[in-house]
Amino acid sequence: VITEDLGLNLKDVTIDQLGQASKVNVTKDNTTIVEGGGDKAAVATRVETIKQQIAETTSDFDREKLQERLAKLAGGVAVINVGAATETELKERKYRIEDALNATRAAVEEGFVAGGGTALVNAISAVEALSEAGDVQTGINTVIKALESPVRQIAENAGLEG
């Protein structure tokens, strides 16, 4: 970063102090660098530093911001070109891509679980570890069957035995 706070003045900067990129997009809220020519070892070191900061922080707000930073730094950039025969078809494709991008952003920011009932199946072992007597054990067994149910239904719908 070139700033007077660090003793750097923009008029004194040389070309070797600057980086390279095929494209840079700057908005009010974000800066996106496409195909940056940065030092990969330095980026990897920064990624590890951020991971360590995430593990050490006690603030949920700081953890969320660090996770966003990590996702942006390690995630990469994709350029999507869309074509169509008509203007209407192009708009429809553009809306579909924007919808997919928003879903992907939400998954990255908020997290996601594996589909197909996998998260429920993974929870079964924790419920099976419970050992109670009488009606409580009957309730535990009912919960286990309920956790298995979505996967069984998916298998049945696919023509397989659950």
Please give the Cα distance from 101 to 80 (Å, whole number).
11
Query: What is the structure's pLDDT at 73?
Result: 82
pTM (2 decimals)? 0.44
Same domain, residue pair 107 and 127: no
How many domains are there within the chain? 2
Q: pLDDT by residue for the chain (162 residues), tens digit each? A: 788 888 888 888 888 888 888 888 899 988 888 888 778 888 889 999 999 999 999 999 999 889 888 888 877 767 788 899 999 999 999 999 999 989 988 887 777 777 878 889 999 999 999 988 899 999 999 999 999 999 989 888 988 875
Query: What is the structure's pLDDT at 108?
Result: 74
Query: What is the structure's pLDDT at 99?
Result: 95
Q: Is residue 153 part of a domain?
A: yes
Query: What is the structure's pLDDT at 87?
Result: 95
Q: What is the DSSP-derived secondary structure letter of residue 158?
A: T
Q: Which of 130, 111, 123, 112 is nearest to 151 (CA)?
A: 123
3-class DSSP state of 30: coil
Q: Is residue 138 part of a domain?
A: yes
Query: What is the structure's pLDDT at 39?
Result: 81
Q: Which domain holds residue 106?
A: 83-112
Same domain, residue pair 136 and 151: yes
Q: Is residue 7 part of a domain?
A: no
Same domain, residue pair 124 and 147: yes
Q: Is residue 88 part of a domain?
A: yes
Helices 118-128 + 135-157 axis angle, to 10: 160
Same domain, residue pair 123 and 153: yes
Query: What is the structure's pLDDT at 162?
Result: 55
